[in-house]
Structure 1
Amino acid sequence: MSELLAVGNPDRGDDGVGPYVVAGLAGRLPKSKLLYSDGEVSDLIAIFARCSQLVLIDALDGPAAGMAPGQKLCLDANDPALAQAPLHASTHALGVVEAISLARSLEVLPKKLTVIAIAGESFVLGEGLSEAVACAADALIEELAAAFIEDAVHA
């Protein structure tokens, strides 16, 4: 069973989409472990080293990617397109993409790592999710719940 990792800060607008999605799954996926990270590279690498299958949920800088708020991007950690994904970086200017690259170099990348990012529009301190991102997050919660339940039935 995969573990779910929320990356982001719920007090920075759409950067809180990862924690929002994972919180929405709490209690619905009894056989899955729900994890949280603010996106610090050392924290992410430590989590990667402990997991064999991981679904990571984060915000994407929609304007930088040319994507509309709420659009979803789903990539395997080994997909070359991940290197160009403008995943929202932490306050130290390093983020998920850099953590994945470093974890790969250290040979601690999970065997299966799926990155799901939702394009945000505002990352202002003190704001909540924008309407488009909240709608996309709610849809992702239902999609993940159904997928994880289906996997559990066939496991």
Structure 2
Amino acid sequence: MSGWTIIGVGNRFRGDDSVGPYVIDRLRSRLPSSTPCIENNGDMTSLLDEWRQRRVCLIDALQAEDQATGAILRLNGLAEEIPPTLCRTSSHGLNLGEALALAGALDALPERLDLYAICGEDFSPNASLSAAVEDAARQVEREILEKLSLHTGGV
């Protein structure tokens, strides 16, 4: 089994959508250089190469009216249904659910996909990361560090 790869999905310039890159920035300084930390700006087709045959922690923003801003949804991306609110269309016309289906057809699935979706509120251009989403991002950062430590005997 391969090592872990961390992928943060989102646009740095769209408020709470920047949570994925935010977590990636924080983890890069805390993880060994042998642990890939990849920023994906929403290009779902590039995920096929980024996650192929790897154990992946993927961080993304979620729009959910029934969840509080900053709520964290944790999913096994290979075994659980991806909520439609995580299936935003990217500029390439694929969403996360479709990218997983395509990866399955092309034998390009990750070995493991631990998905951390953080509920955001403001996705407008040039908005800042909201305080509740920033707090949730730091919680996800801690959880990922703990997961990697447990699975590798230390990071």
> Is 1:42 the equivalent of 2:41?
no
Residue 125 (structure 1) shift: 0.7
Q: Deviations 1:72-129 (Å, cap 9, x if unpaired)?
A: 11111223421x3411623455322221121112111011111111011111011121
Structure 1 length as normaliser, TM-score?
A: 0.87
Q: Secondary structure at the match of 1:118?
A: strand
Distance 1:41 1:141 in 2: 22
> Is 1:113 the equivalent of 2:113?
yes
8 A contact 2:62–2:120 mirrored in 1: yes
Task: Point out the structure with the larger helix share.
Answer: 1
Aligned to 2:19: 17
The total of aligned residue pairs comes to: 151
Percent identity, please.
34
Distance 1:73 1:140 in 2: 10
Q: Which amino acid aligns with 1:32?
A: T
Report runs of 4+ in structure 1 exceeding 6 Å deviation: none
1:86-97 alignment, distance < 5 Å: 86-87=85-86, 89=88, 90-91=90-91, 94-97=94-97
Q: Secondary structure at the match of 2:137?
A: helix
Residue 39 (structure 1) shift: 1.5
Q: Which of the numbers 32, 53, 56 marks the counterpart of 1:54?
A: 56
1:6-155 alignment, distance < 5 Å: 6-30=8-32, 31-49=34-52, 51-63=53-65, 66-82=66-82, 84-87=83-86, 89=88, 90-91=90-91, 94-153=94-153
Gaps of 5+ in 2: none
What do you get for the CA RMSD once the two structures are aligned? 1.9
Residue 26 (structure 1) shift: 1.2
8 A contact 2:45–2:92 mirrored in 1: no
Distance 1:25 1:85 in 2: 28
Residue 27 (structure 1) shift: 2.3
